[in-house]
Structure 1
Amino acid sequence: MIIAFSVTPIGAGEGVSEYVADAVRVVRESGLPNSTDAMFTSIEGEWDEVMAVVKAAVDAVAAKAPRVSVVLKADIRAGVTDGLTAKVAAVEEKLAGQ
């Protein structure tokens, strides 16, 4: 499965990059395939391992912020691996063929 999620500290002021960095650090240290862009961090793996990483990332932000908002989107597709790169590669291939 692939989970795309964002964690936002509430009540922590306007600049939140320090908090986001704490969450992304947890994801990267998990060893699971992941990518981060301006809006979401995506992580790929089995349900329990991915959800444990999301929880740990939220906990890292909650350790410093009085309140945390989480947005989560999941793509659950049995038998698929390397979806983080394969999905993007398929689109890029189509674009290159135009």
Structure 2
Amino acid sequence: MLVAFSVSPLGGESDSVAAAVAEAVRVVRESGLPNETNAMFTLVEGEWDEVMAVVKKATEVVQATAPRVSLVVKADIRPGHTGQLRAKVERVEQHLASGE
């Protein structure tokens, strides 16, 4: 399963969310699951229970710093497939390279 999620504090005294988001990303990286972070989302790959536990823990870390939290989650649930964090991108790149 691949999950793309974004968690962000709402409210509080600062316009910057970077410190709180960094703590959420730290949770993801310490999980040991394959992951990638970009400007909008963090992607995590693994089994349902382990991925959702990481999303929950990352959300709780942000929640500890703010009176309100925004969480967006998108999942690609495809049993029997692993390594899709990179493989999906590689398939697109192959099509681009071949001009298809």
Q: Output the TM-score relative to the length of structure 1.
A: 0.97
Q: Deviating runs (4+, > 4 A) in structure 1? A: none
Distance 1:65 1:27 in 2: 19
Q: Provide the residue aligned with 2:9 in structure 1.
A: 9
**5+ unaligned residues in a row in structure 1: which ranges?**
none
For 2:66 and 2:27, the matched residues in 1 are separated by: 16
Cross-structure match for 2:30: 29
TM-score, length-scaled by structure 2: 0.95
Alignment of 1:53-72 (within 5 A): 53-72=54-73
Identity level (%): 64
The letter of the residue matching 1:10 is L
In structure 2, the partner of 1:77 is 78
| Residue-pair matches, total | 98
**Unmatched 5+ residue regions in structure 2?**
none
Looking at structure 2, the residues matched to 96 and 22 of structure 1 have their Cα atoms a distance apart, in angstroms, of 37
